[in-house]
Amino acid sequence: MSTLGYEDELRSERAYVAGLYARLDAERARVKAKFTAALGGTGGTPMERDFEVRALAREVKRLDVADNGLCFGRLDSISGDHSYIGRIGIFDEEHDYEPVLLDWRAPASRAFYVATGAHPENVRRRRQFHTRGRQVLDFTDEVLGRPTGEVQGDAALLAAVNAPRGEGMRDIVATIQSEQDEIIRLDHPGVLVIEGGPGTGKTVVALHRVAYLMYTQRERMERHGVLVVGPNPAFLNHIGRVLPSLGESDVVFMTTGDLVPGLHVTAEDEPDVARLKGSLKMVDVLTAAIADRQRLPAQPLPITLGTATVRIDAETAQWAREEARASGLPHNEARSVFTEIITYVLTERAIARIGRGWLTRADREGWEEMRGELLKELATDEDFTAALDELWPILTPEALLAPLYSSPERLRAAGADEALLRADGAAWTVSDVPLLDELVDLLGRDKAADKAAERAVQREQKAEAEYAAHVIDQLRLDREELDEDIGLTAENLLYAEDLADRFGVQDTRDLVERASADRDWTYRHVVVDEAQELSEMDWRVLMRRCPARSFTVVGDLAQRRSAAGATSWAAMLDRYVPGRWAYRSLTVNYRTPAEIMTVAAALLAEFAPEVQPPDSVRACGVRPWSRQVSADELPAAVEEFRREEEGREGTSVVIGPPGIGDTVPGAVPASETKGLEFDAVLVVEPEQILADGPRGAAELYVALTRATQRLGVLHLDPLPRALNGLTDTGTPVQAGT
């Protein structure tokens, strides 16, 4: 294409994209007007109005994300037709809703990602736009079906991977590769495992798969939403913009420590303790710990009924306990069975003593009448309630687990390892979360507490309705004094019930807020990132959250740090979805340049020789370097790195062994950088990272593969043998020098 022809084409494309933005703005204005009207509307039932408002709110969010890079490409077919590809779909209402912009997830858009010279998919030319905001800066063309294209087809991809990193992960909607697109659009109803080494894009592929599923299965997805589970808050913050940028907002982001609403994690377990807590054997421990709280009285417990004193003896309590356990109900719910047996025995004994000489069993009416009086007495008897609490207490997960951890006797009774003993039983760790969640089901609900909470809600709703009625009455009294310009008339006054709805009787929280606060919420789909770190008990929690067993699982077994984590995917998944999980691998490294990956691959070969490192798609031209320093020289060397990076565009980080932040302010341990990426990385004391337990090599591997451009290493002790590929100069050396 000549320079003049290119400029003409560029002007034409800019005009077309400007027209798309004009349509987008008009649609935004229309939807926002409907949304505003729906907020103030009075027609229909409160539920119907709420449904309309929520639907319009979702549409407003969908339209608001498309400003940056609305249209990023064009397909020209062999027959001469062309289609534009973008973040959302836009249609021409005046011409039978013809698409003027195809959503990237639509079937017709797939060729944009998978067409090749060998398999052109009926495509003659693929055009990719380079945009900034609403402006088309330039474009590149790839002509398919020929030995060579007019322009290198990887230009857009290389521009994206070489661009400086910002504060969060970017979507790859404009540069999805064929290998990635196959996984994103895979029609698999069960669990999909995506494994890939550092930089292969497995996380962003999983997020785009979620966006695709929410587009193709909108009705199934939107009522329950999607849960994304990540390793730490920094990671979730890093990836949190991807789905909103693709128009999807009904997504809850959590770490495993957030899965029990309201729980605050304040401590960290030693690796051996985390391994114990992560084992499925803990289900038996918890079951035994509950059974240990279902006691028999050491001495008969006296209860006064009427004029008689009766006793709860061990024999009676044992009968009641056996019946309660045989009911199959969770502990708290089975208390009613236990109470029923105890009550029956006590009232029978009391009636026999009180009615001795004048009341016989043949007088069933008199017998039952007296039983009714005694039952009322028992219901308010503090000694009886105290006896029940001693023998079969109502327990919360925290009230069961905290005393278990702090008592050697209770641990022994539950068959638990003494390593679980700790001074502060309520100092919760991440490994405690799945145990507390398990206990929610093992213990069951406290029905009395649930009823009390329900009554409190009813009282609140009644008070709100009464307040609304008072407002209506006041408005009616005052309306004659109001200026007529206000337009307040008897005809447009709301009824008290409608006004009460506006004051909060209806749940106005969006899906994310409701799901995050509800332990019993179930999701339509769950994404698990860094899944190799999850324990057997973690997986039980997640399976409860998604009864349909629809998962996208992302991980790399070679990067596993947790002693309780996965050694194989089958070991974790076959128990729940035998024959219903599929495996896909990503083999191309889009993040880590070849110079850095060569160093990391040498380390990988030492601790996981069976794992093939991913192939880097590019080189950066800068060799990774190392420098040996003394402890006194370390702070100055770190500051030198930081000063150099301050003058460059992009992001940087200093990574070291656990506790590095105490000696190098601002530095982070490798475990906190999983899934993150930076333009420049300085690894401090790699020998200490390597020495930190059996999985230290995996942590060092993670640290070395976070950089997209520049990697430096500062070491105090001799450099680990696996890192001998580093240039030992102390300053970065340009390739070729």
Residue-level pLDDT at 500: 46
510: buried, middle or exposed (CB in 10 Å: 19+, 13-18, 0-12)? middle
Residue-level pLDDT at 83: 96
What mean pLDDT, rounded, does the chain reach?
Answer: 86
Q: Is there a binding annotation on residue 522? A: no
Q: Is there a binding annotation on residue 309? A: no
Residue-level pLDDT at 49: 72
Residue-level pLDDT at 496: 44
Tokens of 128: 């990719």
Could you report the per-residue pLDDT of 565-590, keeping only the tens digit for each? 999 999 999 999 999 999 999 999 88
Is the pLDDT at 168 greater than 80? The verdict is: no
Residue-level pLDDT at 177: 86
Q: Mean pLDDT over residues 16-41, rounded?
A: 89
For 144-177, give one letter per residue: b (16+ CB within 10 A) or e: bbeeebebebebbbeeebeeebeeebbbbbbbbb
552 pLDDT band (50/70/90 cuts)? Answer: very high
Could you report the per-residue pLDDT of 254-280, keeping only the tens digit for each? 999 999 999 999 999 999 999 999 999
Beta carbons of 591 and 709 less than 8 angstroms apart: no
Q: Mean pLDDT over residues 184-197, rounded?
A: 94
- Identify which has the larger pLDDT, 512 or 449: 512
Could you report the per-residue pLDDT of 44-84, keeping only the tens digit for each? 666 677 778 777 887 887 787 777 789 999 999 999 899 99
Q: Mean pLDDT over residues 8-24, rounded?
A: 95
Q: What is the dihedral of CA 15, 18, 20, 23, to 10 degrees?
A: -120
pTM score of the predicted model: 0.81
Is the pLDDT at 419 greater than 80? The verdict is: yes
Least confident of 200-204, 682-686, 726-730: 726-730
Q: Is there a binding annotation on residue 196? A: yes
Could you report the per-residue pLDDT of 305-319, keeping only the tens digit for each? 988 999 999 999 999
99 pLDDT band (50/70/90 cuts)? Answer: very high
- Identify which has the larger pLDDT, 242 or 61: 242
Could you report the per-residue pLDDT of 372-409, keeping only the tens digit for each? 999 999 999 999 999 999 999 999 999 999 999 999 99
Measuring CA to CA, how many Å separate 92 from each of 23, 32, 353, 495? 9, 19, 89, 42
Q: Is there a binding annotation on residue 202? A: yes
147 pLDDT band (50/70/90 cuts)? Answer: very low
Tokens of 646: 């301050």
551 pLDDT band (50/70/90 cuts)? Answer: very high
Beta carbons of 571 and 178 less than 8 angstroms apart: no
Residue-level pLDDT at 324: 98
461 pLDDT band (50/70/90 cuts)? Answer: low
How far, in Å, CA of 534 to CA of 420, rounded? 19
- Identify which has the larger pLDDT, 460 or 95: 95
Residue-level pLDDT at 732: 44
Is the pLDDT at 734 greater than 50? The verdict is: no
Could you report the per-residue pLDDT of 586-636, keeping only the tens digit for each? 999 888 999 999 999 999 999 999 999 999 988 989 999 999 999 999 999
Q: Which residue has the tokens 């858009």?
A: 109
Residue-level pLDDT at 626: 95
- Length of the chain, please? 737
Q: Is there a binding annotation on residue 199? A: yes
Is the pLDDT at 479 greater than 50? The verdict is: no
Q: Is there a binding annotation on residue 197? A: yes
How far, in Å, CA of 90 to CA of 394, rounded? 57
159 pLDDT band (50/70/90 cuts)? Answer: low
Q: Is there a binding annotation on residue 203? A: yes
